[in-house]
């Protein structure tokens, strides 16, 4: 039987002189070439030539980290496109939004994709954090990678926060007013941070300029750097976390008595956690095609979902920013509504203390919960205490978010979503 | 360069000690100075913001017993008899504009409630609304200074004939 037509074309292309010079290995036919395909390509060499079977199990990782990464790619792509039109000016920014909607070819689609991918990224980074917790994947040697991951979560939230000032609509203006005022409640340095963020005392042109710089260059650069370190460490720690293998397979190899049938790099001998040390080769499969094709498939799926959302639902745009009248109720996006609900009890406790303690708890978690048990399994019984505490916090956050989203009406008063909200009476 | 003898690996020579100390000091200073300079660069020296002092109008523009919302300044001008006061409309919680509700004020963002004196009656607001100083300018206009706060019982009292 002849190979499919695309494969034949590809083979023909890689056999030409030019094709050979670019791709070198061509379509791998042997195991040697499968390794070479990974190591000889700049884009693929970031990944190992062989990957543990456990890392490929969709039911273990759910692909949440990869999905977050792909959403970041989509956000960078659409974000750069938006930059070709956007002007960070309080007078022009809102008009650019209208131009994107009504004048620019595919402008609405690009803005919608950027908005929905941003929402999805916040969601999937949160889910990824939950997955890593429930599988105990933050334990030795991955403690510091968890810390970087928490940093990436904060970066994601910071990117979305700085992003929504940019349209200069009502949501933008009042979300930034409320957000920077929360920062102002931080002890001692709070008012100074607020002044620095806004570049003054009021939300105006200076604030827009600063948030623009943060959104398009400072935070994305930091995020990409941290993502690189995050992925590098996953690779150096031997792929995704997995249950410890039976100890009989682990055989300490004394230095200088290396078996001759396998070549070891210095790096791989430096520590005992790398993929090559003391492990059955049968547990590994070639990254080409097992890993690469799964990744491509997942990327297509994520892109399709974002496109679907962007085609059928428009990104909201409220009225032009009005510093006199906040909308009533003035609501942040869903991922900040739990925080807004907390803040409606006390700005200091809800806006500074509780989030500060939660982030601190996440950062120090791997150094407190040090026992290496239940790694690599969902909801391991040995981790019932840690899992319970985490679940309680998670449920509290979900309940607060639901209350803030559905049960709060004008003046942040209690409403029941199945009832008509009371008419707002405003008088001066 | 390492001048310590092989028998005493922890021994540091005078030259080595000076090199280490000065090197680390210089490095630390360079980084700290750059960081301090960058942060100072971020602090604007000139603010192009509206003046804190504004003229609200003639005293007679405000009827007796009225509470007038001045949109552009986000303040309420309160007249009772021949006394004048000016109340900030910026909620002390997180900076939204409060609305007049009954004789008091309501914040739409997180539900803070203030009475007519600006005192907190409910919700998350930590402090009462701010009262600003009101004076009379030479051309007989009410002059409000949002940079100067006064107690709730401070009034500008004008002669009734004004």
Q: Give rounded-to-5 percent helix, strand, coil for chain B.
A: 20, 30, 45
pLDDT in tens, B144-158: 998 888 888 888 888
| pLDDT mean over A62-81 | 96
**pTM tops 0.90:** no
Give the ipTM of the model, two decimals please. Answer: 0.79
Do residues A133 and A390 touch, judged by C-beta distance below 8 A? yes
By CA distance, what is B109's nearest residue in A?
A: A330
Residue A362 CA to residue A148 CA, distance in Å, equals: 11
Taking the CA atoms of residue A58, residue A64, residue A70 and residue A72 in that order, the dihedral angle to the nearest 10 degrees is: -170
Q: What is the pLDDT of residue A270?
A: 44
Collapse the DSSP code of A12 into the 3-class scheme (helix H, G, I; strand E, B; otherwise coil) and give the result.
Answer: helix
Question: What's the mean pLDDT in A343-358?
Answer: 86
- Of residues A50 and A71, which shows the higher confidence score? A71
Q: What is the pLDDT of residue A249?
A: 46
Higher pLDDT: A356 or A374? It is: A356
Q: Mean pLDDT lowest for which of A251-255, A304-308, A314-318, B32-36? A: A251-255
Degrees to nearest 5, angle at CA B132 with A193 and B157: 170
What are the distances in angstroms from CA A196 to CA A185, A187, A200, A285, B47? Answer: 14, 15, 7, 52, 12
pLDDT band at A248 (very low <50, low <70, confident <90, very high): very low
Phi, psi for residue A416 in degrees, rounded to 5: -100, 125
pLDDT at A257 over 70: no
Mean pLDDT, to the nearest integer, of A206-217?
95
Q: Which of A262-271, A316-325, A352-361, A386-395 has the lowest mean pLDDT?
A: A262-271
Put simply, the answer to whether A178 touches B101 (Cβ < 8 Å) is no
Residues 6+ apart with CB under 8 A from A204: A90, A198, B49
Task: Tell me how close the Cα of B19 comes to any Cα of chain A, in angstroms.
Answer: 32
Question: Which helix or strand (DSSP H or E) is residue A285 part of?
Answer: strand A284-286
> Within an 8 Å CB–CB cutoff, is residue A190 touching chain B?
no
Average pLDDT over residues A399-407: 88
User: How far apart (Å, rounded) are the C-alpha atoms in residues B54 and A188?
Assistant: 31
pLDDT digits (tens, 9 = 90+) for A293-343: 999 999 999 999 999 999 999 988 888 888 888 887 777 778 888 888 888
pLDDT digits (tens, 9 = 90+) for A24-36: 887 888 888 888 8
B99 to chain A, any CB pair closer than 8 A? The answer is yes
Q: Please say if the pLDDT value at position A427 is more than 50.
A: no
B132 and B143 Cβ atoms separated by less than 8 Å: no
Token output for B72: 């552009």
- Give per-residue burial for A14-49: e unless 16+ CB within 10 Å, then b: beeeeeeeebebbbbeeeebbbbbbeebeebeebbb
* Closest CB from A200, A206, A412 relative to B109: A412
Task: Work out the number of other CB atoms within 10 angstroms of the CB of residue B37.
Answer: 9
Mapped onto helix, strand or coil, the DSSP state of residue B112 is: coil
Strand partners, B57: B142
How much of chain B, in percent, has pLDDT values that exceed 90?
A: 33
Residue for token pair 């940019």: A166
Nearest residue on chain B to A193, judged by CA atoms? B43
Nearest-angstrom CA–CA distance, A335 and A343:
14
Which of the four pLDDT bands, split at 50, 70 and 90, describes residue A407? confident
CA distance A72 to A9: 32
Q: Closest partner residue to A182 among B94, B100, B108, by Cβ?
A: B94
Confidence at A7, pLDDT banded by 50, 70, 90: confident
Give the pairing type, strands B83-88 and B156-157: antiparallel
Whether A344 has its CB under 8 Å from any CB of chain B: the answer is: yes
Single out the residue of A282, A278, A292 nearest to residue A238, CA to CA.
A278
What is the average per-residue pLDDT within A197-204? 88
B66 to chain A: which residues are within 8 Å by CB?
none
What average pLDDT does the segment A43-52 reach?
85
d(CA A256, CA A248): 22
Q: Is the pLDDT of residue B6 over 80?
A: no
Percent of chain A with pLDDT over 70: 89
CB contact under 8 A, A324 and B49: no
Quick one: pLDDT at residue B107?
86
Q: Flag the least confident range among A287-291, A424-428, B99-103, B121-125.
A: A424-428
Lookup: tokens for A366:
């791997």
Give the residue-averaged pLDDT of B125-140.
90
Structure tokens that stand for B7 in this block: 């028998």
Residues from chain B contacting residue A186 (CB–CB below 8 Å):
none
Average pLDDT over residues A76-98: 95
CA-angle at A332, arms to A79 and A387, nearest 5°: 95
Fill in the DSSP letter of residue B98: P
Confidence of residue B4 (pLDDT cuts 50, 70, 90): very low
B120 inside 8 A of chain A by CB: no
Residue A262 has pLDDT above 70, yes or no: no
Q: What percent of chain A has pLDDT over 90?
A: 43
């Amino acid at each position: 039987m002849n190979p499919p037509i695309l494969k034949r074309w590809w083979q023909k292309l890689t056999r030409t002189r030019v094709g050979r010079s670019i791709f070198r290995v061509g379509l791998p036919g042997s195991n040697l070439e499968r390794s070479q395909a990974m190591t000889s390509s700049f884009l693929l060499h970031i990944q190992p030539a062989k990957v543990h079977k456990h890392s490929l199990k969709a039911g273990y990782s759910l692909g949440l980290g990869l999905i977050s990464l792909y959403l970041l790619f989509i956000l960078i792509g659409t974000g750069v496109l938006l930059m070709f039109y956007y002007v960070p000016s309080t007078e022009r920014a809102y008009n650019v939004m209208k131009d994107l909607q009504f004048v620019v070819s595919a402008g609405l689609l690009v803005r919608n994709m950027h908005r929905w991918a941003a929402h999805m990224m916040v969601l999937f980074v949160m889910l990824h954090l939950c997955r890593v917790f429930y599988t105990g994947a933050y334990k030795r040697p991955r403690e510091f990678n968890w810390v970087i991951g928490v940093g990436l979560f904060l970066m994601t939230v910071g990117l979305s926060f700085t992003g929504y000032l940019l349209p200069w609509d009502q949501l933008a203006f009042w979300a930034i007013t409320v957000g920077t005022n929360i920062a102002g409640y931080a002890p001692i340095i709070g008012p100074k941070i607020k002044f620095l963020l806004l570049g003054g005392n009021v939300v105006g042109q200076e604030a827009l300029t600063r948030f623009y710089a943060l959104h398009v260059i400072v935070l994305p650069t930091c995020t990409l750097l941290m993502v690189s370190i995050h992925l590098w460490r996953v690779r150096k720690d031997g792929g995704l976390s997995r249950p410890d293998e039976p100890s009989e397979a682990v055989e300490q190899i004394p230095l200088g008595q290396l078996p001759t049938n396998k070549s070891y790099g210095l790096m791989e001998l430096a520590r005992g956690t790398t993929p090559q040390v003391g492990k059955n080769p049968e547990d590994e499969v070639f990254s080409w095609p097992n890993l690469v094709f799964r990744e491509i498939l997942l990327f297509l799926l994520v892109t399709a979902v974002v496109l679907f959302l962007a085609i059928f639902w428009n990104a909201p745009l409220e009225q032009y920013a009005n510093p006199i009248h906040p909308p009533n109720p003035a609501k942040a996006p869903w991922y900040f509504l739990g925080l807004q609900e907390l803040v409606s009890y006390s700005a200091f406790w809800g806006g500074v203390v509780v989030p500060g303690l939660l982030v601190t708890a996440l950062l120090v978690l791997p150094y407190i919960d040090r026992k290496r048990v239940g790694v690599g399994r969902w909801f391991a019984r040995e981790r019932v205490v840690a899992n319970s505490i985490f679940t309680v916090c998670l449920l509290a956050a979900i309940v607060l978010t639901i209350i803030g989203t559905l049960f709060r009406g004008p003046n942040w008063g209690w409403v029941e979503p199945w009832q008509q909200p009371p008419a707002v009476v405003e008088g001066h | 360069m390492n001048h310590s003898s092989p028998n005493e690996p922890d021994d540091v020579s005078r030259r080595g000690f000076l090199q280490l100390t000065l090197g680390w000091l210089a490095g630390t200073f360079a980084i700290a100075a750059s960081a301090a300079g960058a942060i100072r660069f971020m602090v604007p020296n000139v603010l192009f913001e509206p003046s804190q002092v504004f003229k609200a109008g003639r005293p007679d523009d405000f009827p007796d017993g009225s509470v007038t919302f001045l949109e552009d300044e986000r303040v309420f001008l309160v007249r009772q008899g021949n006394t004048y006061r000016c109340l900030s409309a910026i909620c002390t919680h997180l900076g939204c504009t409060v609305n007049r509700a009954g004789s008091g004020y309501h914040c739409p963002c997180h539900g803070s409630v203030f009475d007519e004196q600006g005192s907190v009656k409910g919700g998350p607001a930590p402090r009462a609304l701010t009262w600003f100083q009101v004076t009379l300018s030479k051309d007989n206009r009410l002059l409000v200074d949002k940079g100067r706060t006064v107690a709730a019982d401070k009034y500008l009292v004008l002669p009734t004939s004004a």
